[in-house]
């Protein structure tokens, strides 16, 4: 909740929109969660040390300084006496790693301890600006001091069952940046498809990349495409986290390399159905399976620099399951990274550093919490966005919650009951999501609520205020080209937004 003060300042500024070209910023301003604000000076000069912004800070500086996309009107050049935008890196521990201060007064001051904080500050400034470029801007005098409650503010996209092209992922990253979401979890393998080029095992994409769920899209990413995507995300303050789901959900692997299956397995064909829990690597052949897993992980880690690497581990019951998870987690750790597994991995002896992703609301996770395992919270009754925006929405699931997962339900989640939680993540599974437009409809505006749940403590959130602020951002969603769900709570059932 911003502290809008009565006074206003008239500015002749370049819009905090896109820097030109692929090296610059895209229009990805931010809808902010409730901000801790104050009316007085947010810092004292005696406690401030300025230094030149790093690469991300320079991108933020350009974003606040330069013109928009090609074809957008350019505002007039700054005139003498017009307010300046000042970006400052300050050695202020109270701001944390991602916090910032934004002050609109005689000028516009954006202050943060880190480059990422400056990115957030610039995006919050964008929220105050219209979606389209203007000759000049009338801004409220406002002071915003803000920092996230959780470091993991994520969205998971299942590109394995139905493929999403790189161009869509880039647009999604821009939209994530708009809302200060900072983890993009890519589910790269499942029964219906394998999506990442592994040079040592080319049939994974030759066979697994050619399959998809019935009605969905097949395809795969080269390693160069994924490296580009990682860099694109990093420039916007987002970490891409890969997932190779093992030892279950592996029919695409078995169809590509039959030796990974046990000798008595007859079903070695690509799969396009909706069932789960029927495929498994042959865990009684460790001499075959473990070298394969290690070689795949080595190539995955060479492409994705994220500290955390997801090894899957869901929906599988096998006497050797716990041993496999422990061995695979140890491989990831030996490679200098931190493993993530779905909640079922809590049965393995992995050590408390492994992150666990909770997806089943009723799963008995207390023992893992007692051991100190960090949790990523994705309970399906709140954050599975393949479920309907409303009960009975066509082409959506309801197996986890018959009423669907409406916007108000997403917003109502309170992570504070999980003492080891590092954040939240919403998941879009793609068995029934076969187009870009369908993905947009399932994701937006619900991901905006996810952002606020992850950014602001429950005690500082209020649904009516969220709806008011979110409603004002509809022109920005239109400018981003989002085919969002026309949410009734936002009054979006009919009509076009004012630009």
Per-residue burial over 218-255, b = 16 or more CB atoms within 10 Å of its CB, e = otherwise: bbbbebebbeebbebbbbbbbbbbbbbbbbbbbbbbbb
- 381-413 burial, b if ≥16 CB within 10 A, otherwise e? bbbbbbbbbeeebeebbeebbeebbbbebbbeb
**What interhelical angle do 166-178 and 436-443 show, nearest 10?**
20
Place of tokens 């003060």: 5
Q: Which of 266, 315, 343, 403 is catalytic?
A: 315
Q: List 319's β-bridge partners, or say none.
A: none
Best CA proximity match to 479, nearest among 11, 24, 31: 31
Nearest to 251 by CA among 202, 191, 293: 191
Tokens coding 479: 């400018």
The C-alpha atoms of residue 136 and residue 16 are separated, in whole angstroms, by 12
Handedness of CA 452, 453, 456, 460 (dihedral sign): positive
For CA atoms 306, 154, 380, 36, the dihedral sign is: positive
Token readout for 69 is 């996309």
CA dihedral 323, 325, 331, 335 (to 10 degrees): -150
Q: Catalytic: 315?
A: yes
- Both tokens assigned to 235: 């420039």
| Dihedral Cα 357, 361, 363, 367, nearest 10 deg | 70
388 forms beta bridges with none
Backbone dihedral angles phi then psi of residue 474, each to the nearest 5 degrees: -55, -40
The residues annotated as belonging to the active site are 315
């Amino acid at each position: 909740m911003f502290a809008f003060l009565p006074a206003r300042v008239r500015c002749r500024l370049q819009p905090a929109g896109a820097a030109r070209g692929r090296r610059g910023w895209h229009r990805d301003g931010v809808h902010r969660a409730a901000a801790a604000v104050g009316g007085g000076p947010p810092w004292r000069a005696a406690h401030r040390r300025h230094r030149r912004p790093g690469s991300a800070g320079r991108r933020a500086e350009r974003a606040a300084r330069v013109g928009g996309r090609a074809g957008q009107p350019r505002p007039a050049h700054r005139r003498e006496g017009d307010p300046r935008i000042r970006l400052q890196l300050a050695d202020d521990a109270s701001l944390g790693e991602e916090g910032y201060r934004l002050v609109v007064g005689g000028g516009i001051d954006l202050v943060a301890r880190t480059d990422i904080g400056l990115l957030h500050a610039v995006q919050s400034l964008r929220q105050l600006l219209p979606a389209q470029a203007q000759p000049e801007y009338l801004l409220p005098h406002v002071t915003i001091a803000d920092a996230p409650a959780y470091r993991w503010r994520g969205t998971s996209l299942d590109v394995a069952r139905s493929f999403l092209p790189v161009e869509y992922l880039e647009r999604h990253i821009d939209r994530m940046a708009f809302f200060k979401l900072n983890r993009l979890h890519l589910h790269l393998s499942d029964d219906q498809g394998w999506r990442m080029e592994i040079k040592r095992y080319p049939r994974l994409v030759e066979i697994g990349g050619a399959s998809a769920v019935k009605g969905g899209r097949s395809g795969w990413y080269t390693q160069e495409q994924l490296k580009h995507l990682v860099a694109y995300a990093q420039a916007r303050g987002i970490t891409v986290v890969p997932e190779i789901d093992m030892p279950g959900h592996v029919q695409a692997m078995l169809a590509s390399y039959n030796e990974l299956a046990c000798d008595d397995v007859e079903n070695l064909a690509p799969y396009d159905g909706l069932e789960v829990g029927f495929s498994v690597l042959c865990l009684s052949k460790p001499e075959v399976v473990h070298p394969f897993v290690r070689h795949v992980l080595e190539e995955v880690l060479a492409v994705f620099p994220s500290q955390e690497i997801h090894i899957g581990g869901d929906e599988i019951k096998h006497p050797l399951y716990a041993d496999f998870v422990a061995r695979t987690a140890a491989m990831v750790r030996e490679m200098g990274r931190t493993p993530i597994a779905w909640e079922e991995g809590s049965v393995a002896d992995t050590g408390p550093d492994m992150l666990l992703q909770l997806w089943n609301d009723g799963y008995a996770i207390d023992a893992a919490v007692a051991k100190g395992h960090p949790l990523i919270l994705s309970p399906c009754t709140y954050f599975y966005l393949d479920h309907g925006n409303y009960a009975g929405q066509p082409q959506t699931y309801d197996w986890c919650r018959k009423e669907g997962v409406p916007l108000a339900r997403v917003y109502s989640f309170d992570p504070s009951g999980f003492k080891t939680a590092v954040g939240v993540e919403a998941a879009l599974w793609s068995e029934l999501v076969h187009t870009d437009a369908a993905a947009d409809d399932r994701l937006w505006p619900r991901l905006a609520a996810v952002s606020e749940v992850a950014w602001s403590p429950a005690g500082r959130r209020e649904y009516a205020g969220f709806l008011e602020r979110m409603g004002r951002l509809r022109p920005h969603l239109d400018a981003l080209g989002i085919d969002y769900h026309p949410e009734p709570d936002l009054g979006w059932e009919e009509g076009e937004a004012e630009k």
